[in-house]
A and B are shown apart, each in its own frame.
Chain A
Amino acid sequence: MCASVKYNIRGPALIPRMKTKHRIYYITLFSIVLLGLIATGMFQFWPHSIESSGDWSVEKRSVRDVPVVRLPAESPIPERGDLSCRMHTCFDVYRCGFNPKNKIKVYIYSLKKYVDDAGVPVSNTISREYNELLTAISDSDYYTDDINRACLFVPSIDVLNQNTVRIKETAQALAQLSRWDRGTNHLLFNMLPGGPPDYNTALDVPRDRALLAGGGFSTWTYRQGYDVSIPVYSPLSAEVALPEKAPGARRYFLLSSQMSVHPEFREELEALQAKHGESVLVLDKCTNLSEGMLSVRRRCYQHQVFDYPQLLQEATFCVVLRGTRLGQAVLSDVLQAGCVPVVIADSYILPFSEVLDWKRASVVVPEEKMSDVYSILRSIPQRQIEEMQRQARWFWEAYFQSIKAIALATLQIINDRIYPYAAISYEEWNDPPAVKWASVSNPLFLPLIPPQSQGFTAIVLTYDRVESLFRVITEVSKVPSLSKLLVVWNNQNKNPPEESLWPKIRVPLKVVRTAENKLSNRFFPYDEIETEAVLAIDDDIIMLTSDELQFGYEVWREFPDRLVGYPGRLHLWDHEMNKWKYESEWTNEVSMVLTGAAFYHKYFNYLYTYKMPGDIKNWVDAHMNCEDIAMNFLVANVTGKAVIKVTPRKKFKCPECTAIDGLSLDQTHMVERSECINKFASVFGTMPLKVVEHRADPVLYKDDFPEKLKSFPNIGSL
């Protein structure tokens, strides 16, 4: 029966027994159902295209189709712009609320076409660059489409070039934005401000409290800490690829490539050229070129024609003169070519000067001193010039090369003002990647000898060697500067001995029980550690005398940023195997100290636990080995300094020391340790360990001096 239904669906031929009336009825019905199903199927299988076709109307549209907004002639105009605005007066920081990621949220108004009462457009709808800029913001982490959560608003009204907008009407368009509120928290981007005849150095469009990211600010219009000075984007950045050129002396010492230079400046430049000959080249626009040639990409000197901007790579210094506007796109071209800009534009606020250190990449010369430019530049040492060339190119790569770079740097600057405690540092803004990679910033950089009264905390990691542990506790407690003793009980299967059984010592003794038997427990930054100095000591190190330990603490005080330890070790490059090798023999050098007995700053415990690179920490815990090598790597990497080995060599009870006893060398142990070094070096991406040839002894060690008058007589006894 039911099979017949199936057949029925297949077609009318299979239901011949039905009446024709019924048949037509059913056929129609089924066709409708079938069509319906097919249509549904299409909806279901094309859901994305349908949804995006819904979005399509927003996303894949033509700029020409955007909604038109008619501005009545009498609609309000914002105030001109408040020169006294500062972040704490004109910026509504409450809108930025608390953001755990310390990142502002930026909203972009949707694109509209504004026309006046007569239907004449207020401006070109949007320029290519402004579209790129808004796309960059929209693609960034800053973007939000929720206007209620936004902290910063970016209108889609394009004012990059003041000449393309009608000032009053644009201002009216701004004023009618839904969250305008006197321009509070609104950000406008403008690269070409002012217009004839007086060429103001900031956008003339009245904008009330809105922030202005402007190219070509002067000290008179720039609101320090409120506006952002941005570069004038050079379209050549995208058109012409100039490969990076190694710094060094170039064919021309000083080059002027701008086409429209004020006659007075040109006179000065030509005087320089006349005086210094070939090393100075002053170019002008080409007048005798045939129509077809791109005059923007050509420069001429007399009858010589040069390619621009390629020519810039032939010069060490390039003049960036003020034109009608202070900000010039040539600055970007010059930086791209790795030519050091010589900025001659009084009162010009250089791009991103709030964060970029232009002294490192440019020379600023007052207009008055233009005739001295040559001698000023000649007085700069060659090494510094090369540094500046490198820096110039890096600035271009990081902050000039694309509209996106400019937009993101601008938002980062505003972000840093709102969340100053999470701000990007001077070094991050200014140091080229190569310097960032090579430089070390020691977390304990202040030269300081901590007071002796502070004392140290001894941390003993133990599993079950109670007897040996108690001996260590007794020995260590004799050290005068010990202020606390912490036993890290790493055995989960066994309880530590009862309190009454522990040795009675003069300082507090605390036992910390761990959740897991891991080696990294020894380096955990326990709250119980109240001193800066930590002595990590194994539960079998009983051979160190009180004098030796006290002296070790004194050495740590003089070198608080280093690992100060007793047994020293060395890493060597094995030329045969082409890898690192661990060495525990009597060598003349040390690069590591074992943490079976070592003093170090407690901050390194924090670093070990929370900032150890890669998977080293887990690797150590899994292999139950090399936690000391990891600590040596960590400290050397972060401080850039070598360890200090204290006092003469002693017999230590440790696996590799058997070699010294003349017994068989534990080969597997050495292989494992070597493996650790190679593993860690690959994780760190470098070999941070430093090799030194010295160790620390008391001043009078083995000197011909009465023993009883020495501060640390009992040192070095085996």
Chain B
Amino acid sequence: LRLIYTTTPVQIKNVGASGPEKYTEEFIKKQIEEFNLGKRHLANMMGEDPETFTQEDIDRAVAYLFPSGLFDKQARPMMKHPTEIFPEQRKIQWGEDGRPFHFLFYTGKQSYYSLMHETYEKLLNVQKYQDQLAAQDHLPQKEKKNLAGSRWLTKIELEEMLLEKLSDDDYSRFIQLLEKLMALTCVDMEEEHIQKFSKEVPVQLKKVVIEPLKYDERGVAFSTGEGTRKTAKATVVVYDNGTGKITVNGIDILHYFPVLQDREQLLFPFQFLDRVGKHDMVCTVSGGGRSAQAGAIRLASAKALRSFVTEKEVEFMRQAGLLTVDPRVKERKKPGQEGARRKFTWKKR
């Protein structure tokens, strides 16, 4: 250790300022040995085979032997492999003679800077190769690769990969370097290195898949649909070649929905598509009230009718609002108020 000629008060260790304690390689090795021994002891105690004792068995054994009623899972007794308990970052980075292992140790962020160094080296190699090819006029044409198929790692993912804290500036510099590398023509030789830092983005399907018609034993085409409205759930089966008969939970709609308004709601999709007497419908509905069940069945039947109808008419239905789920639900009552919005009566004195 370097001898600094200062007075004693200055050498007092500031316990809070330095981060969590660091530990050496040997300490970790000893911990791993102790863990393996302890695993065998535990297996013997539980009467199981020490050779085939997995981590789940350990967890079960510990939960059995040391039952704990503590709420926080991480406060309960646990026995895990030392590499999971002692994070990689806090290992001491220098050997016995004091010399650090990594050549960029004194920068502070050694893994980030070594990554930048390697990437820049790859960039230089690619440029040199490109210049050589250009000198011999063998330059290949740049092919446009997939534009929206991949994205770069986010800052948090990069931090996890490097086990070091990064600043936004560092992250943006790294991404700029990668973009610069991608812009060159002869990038293919360094593809594997770049792919470590890019992730696939699944292309989101914008179009909703309309299911094709199904045919039952009699040869009649039918399709199903589901709908919800305000706690009511409905499932509907719409049959072709029908007379306009509608059954809800085994009961005819005239008896199930005595009110005209509800029956109008049920008929709206058919009326919109001019198919009033052409389809039969069998529905099951539960939950909600009278109006909510009617709305749920309306949505379900509109969804089922999509399979019978052209795409243009589906677009018309969507614009008419037949295919949108109604998001209105009962608003919660708040404390200090009579209801969701109504306040208590205000008295002047």
**A and B are partners in one complex rather than unrelated chains:** no
Taking Cβ atoms with an 8 Å cutoff, the residues of A that contact B are: none
